[in-house]
């Protein structure tokens, strides 16, 4: 009942029986299956280079190795979690069904902060998180401390969209209004997409990339010694005698 989540190398999907399946992204096959103690009602989150985060109704946040499938650590919140986790930088965020938002350090597996009264995550960047609280208002949180930096009356924003690809805040109402919000100093979105890896074609030897294909600048042609660097390029103009519009002798 949950949409699969895809990374460069894997595709993951949960089940209401508490299973998280992780398969290969480029060919058929299943890497591993994770068994939680409760149903998994939300999609997982990927974090470079090799971590998967998943939440369950058993109240745990699981950190799993993407390649091997072993559980690196798990963190308990004490309440069921139906909201998808969000991995941003070195912190994973999870919102319990009770409305508590946890920030957990992905390296130390320790709690950074917890904020009550949060319903859903919308978008964020390295300094600020944008969420909806339990009253339906738009809340701005500080990523370092979890303190509230501001609150905007949301009104009837009853259709929030979880955006983990960019920092754009997308909200909608059941009456048909869709809005995309941004920070005033960010005219262009911050994109969190990871670059796609190029796979070698079977039966074909890999060739060395040409200049400019991997981001290197194109080589500048060197003029021969003694050439004037400011001279105009040679022209192929015809002489005046060949002018078709010249007067006949």
The band of 1, judged by pLDDT with boundaries at 50, 70 and 90, is: confident
Please give the mean pLDDT across all residues of the chain. Answer: 83
- Pick from 160, 190, 220: which residue ends a domain? 190
Count the Cβ atoms, other than its own, within 10 Å of residue 59: 20
Report whether 58 contacts 79 (CB < 8 A).
no
Q: Residue 147 belongs to what domain range? A: 118-190
Whether residue 170 lies inside any domain: the answer is yes
- Pick from 57, 91, 116: which residue ends a domain? 116
Q: Record the pTM.
A: 0.75
Q: What is the mean pLDDT of residues 207-229?
A: 52
d(CA 95, CA 141): 14
Which of 150, 160, 154 minimizes the C-alpha distance to 128? Answer: 150
What pLDDT score was predicted for residue 73? 96
Contacts 24+ apart (CB under 8 A), 242-245: none
Whether residue 109 lies inside any domain: the answer is yes
Half-sphere exposure at residue 172, Cβ-oriented, CA atoms within 13 angstroms: 8
What pLDDT digit, counting tens, does each position of 84-114 carry? 999 998 999 999 999 999 999 999 999 999 9
Report whether 130 contacts 137 (CB < 8 A).
no
Q: Is 109 exposed, middle or buried (0-12, 13-18, 19+ CB in 10 A)?
A: middle
The band of 157, judged by pLDDT with boundaries at 50, 70 and 90, is: confident
Half-sphere exposure at residue 73, Cβ-oriented, CA atoms within 13 angstroms: 11
Domain match, 67 and 16 both: yes
Domain match, 140 and 34 both: no
Domain match, 64 and 122 both: no
Whether residue 247 lies inside any domain: the answer is no
Residue 241 has pLDDT above 80, yes or no: no
- Domain count along the chain: 2
Residue 223 has pLDDT above 70, yes or no: no
- Pick from 116, 138, 153: which residue ends a domain? 116
Which of 53, 48, 54, 51 minimizes the C-alpha distance to 66? Answer: 51
What pLDDT digit, counting tens, does each position of 123-147 carry? 999 999 999 999 888 999 999 999 9
Those residues with Cβ within 8 angstroms of residue 153's Cβ, 6 or more apart along the chain or in another chain: 137, 138
Domain match, 10 and 102 both: yes
Q: Which two tokens stand for residue 26?
A: 């480029």
What pLDDT digit, counting tens, does each position of 52-74 carry? 999 999 999 999 999 899 999 99
Domain match, 34 and 111 both: yes
Q: Residue 106's domain is classified under what CATH number? A: 2.40.128.630
Those residues with Cβ within 8 angstroms of residue 176's Cβ, 6 or more apart along the chain or in another chain: none
Dihedral Cα 24, 30, 36, 38, nearest 10 deg? 90
Whether residue 201 lies inside any domain: the answer is no
Which residues are paired to 65 by β-bridges? 51
Q: Residue 183's domain is classified under what CATH number? A: 2.40.10.480
Domain match, 156 and 92 both: no
Residue 17 has pLDDT above 70, yes or no: yes
């Amino acid at each position: 009942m949950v949409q699969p989540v895809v990374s460069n190398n894997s595709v993951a999907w949960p089940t209401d029986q508490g299973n998280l399946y992780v398969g290969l992204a480029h060919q058929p096959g299943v890497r591993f299956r994770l068994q939680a103690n409760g149903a998994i009602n939300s999609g997982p989150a990927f974090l470079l280079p090799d971590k998967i985060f998943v939440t369950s109704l058993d109240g745990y946040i699981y950190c799993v190795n993407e390649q091997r499938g072993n559980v690196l650590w798990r963190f308990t919140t004490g309440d069921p979690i139906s909201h998808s986790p969000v991995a941003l930088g070195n912190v994973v965020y999870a919102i319990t069904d009770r409305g508590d938002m946890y920030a957990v350090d992905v390296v130390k597996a320790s709690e950074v902060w917890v904020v009550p009264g949060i319903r859903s995550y919308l978008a964020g960047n390295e300094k600020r998180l944008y969420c909806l609280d339990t009253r339906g208002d738009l809340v701005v949180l500080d990523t370092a401390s979890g303190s509230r930096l501001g609150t905007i009356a949301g009104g009837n924003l009853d259709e929030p969209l979880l955006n983990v690809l960019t920092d754009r805040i997308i909200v909608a109402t059941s009456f048909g209004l869709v809005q995309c919000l941004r920070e005033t100093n960010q005219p262009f979105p911050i994109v969190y997409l990871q670059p796609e890896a190029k796979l070698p074609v079977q039966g074909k030897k890999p060739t060395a990339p040409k200049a400019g294909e991997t981001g290197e600048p194109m080589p500048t042609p060197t003029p021969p010694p003694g050439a004037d660097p400011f001279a105009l390029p040679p022209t192929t103009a015809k002489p005046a005698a060949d002018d078709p519009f010249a007067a006949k002798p």
